[in-house]
Amino acid sequence: MSVEIAIIAAMEREVRSLVRRWPRRDLVAGDLTLPAFAGDGVLVICSGIGGRLARRAAVAVFASHRPRVVVSAGLAGALDSSLEVGTILQPATVVDAATGARFNACGGSGVMVSVPSVLDRDAKSRLAGSYGAVAADMEAAAVALVAGQNGCPFIALKAISDEAGFPMPSFQRWIDARGRIRTARLLLDSALRPAHWLALARLGVNSSHASRELSRALAHLIEREGAALQPALSGNRN
């Protein structure tokens, strides 16, 4: 299939509202088979959580397709206390916290920082004064790096799932090597820690709301980018 817009998200649930009626077209990335969904000139790939896996998915996209635009989509944590759950961000700059590298993104404003692990409230507070960033994610910088290596325009589109002061539990131990949530482990650990129950319940509700807003924003982006690409595509057909 011809892919004009490639969208890389960490988890299927982040984009479920967008792709629920799209045919599945899995993408092979080395020894991994990644869930992917095909629309009209659009491929949505679910890479798993984390920059390493997002980079692997982006490399696989360029190995099998030549998209004209690559989008890192997903959920993000607020560093700015004014950002509410469901707020959509399209930053102009993405910073890799691990390397300090800065990447330009198309059509946005402000700064977002990509970090190697899920941030709790204290970590957010420490990071808030760095980079001038208003939010943090885990995958955008990795996707931006691969897009730049392939001379492809890059867009980051994120929805806030946890406010700056949200009491995030230590989430990293519940993520496996393939970037998936260890649901059974999470439920077992949480059963032994009643203090986590309310936070996890809130996070579930917040993430569902943010994912719906993200899917709406992605639908608008696909429509907008598709219209922008149409003159070039028409020229290629002539």
The residue behind tokens 């996209």 is 61
d(CA 80, CA 200): 21
DSSP summary character for residue 84 = P
On whether the CB atoms of residues 74 and 54 are closer than 8 A, the answer is no
pLDDT given at position 172: 67
Dihedral pair phi/psi, residue 96, rounded to 5°: -90, 110
Higher pLDDT, 96 or 200: 96
Indicate the residue type of 49.
Answer: I
The CA radius of gyration of the chain, in Å to the nearest whole number, is 17
Is residue 19 scored above 60 in pLDDT?
yes
- In 3D, which of 76, 77, 176 has the Cα closest to residue 122? 77
Express each pLDDT in 89-113 by its tens digit. 999 999 999 999 999 999 889 999 9
Average pLDDT in the 162-186 region? 71
Is residue 170 scored above 90 in pLDDT?
no
Higher pLDDT, 55 or 229: 55
Higher pLDDT, 117 or 85: 85
Is residue 161 scored above 80 in pLDDT?
yes
pTM to 2 decimals? 0.87
The secondary element (H helix, E strand) that includes residue 229 is helix 197-237
- In 3D, which of 30, 6, 2, 28 has the Cα closest to residue 143? 6
Please state, for a pLDDT cut of 70, what percent of the chain lies above it.
84
CB atoms within 10 A of CB 22: 16
User: Residue 55 contacts by C-beta under 8 Å, 6 or more apart in sequence?
Assistant: 142, 143, 145, 146
Residue 36 pLDDT level (bands cut at 50, 70, 90): very high
Span between the terminal Cα atoms of the chain, in Å: 20
Q: For each of the domains in the chain, give its residue range(s) and CATH number, in order of start.
A: 5-231 (3.40.50.1580)
Higher pLDDT, 106 or 32: 106
Is residue 163 scored above 60 in pLDDT?
yes
The secondary element (H helix, E strand) that includes residue 124 is helix 121-128
The secondary element (H helix, E strand) that includes residue 136 is strand 135-137
- Cα distances from 10 to residues 27, 36, 52, 196, in angstroms, run 14, 11, 11, 23
Is residue 234 scored above 70 in pLDDT?
no
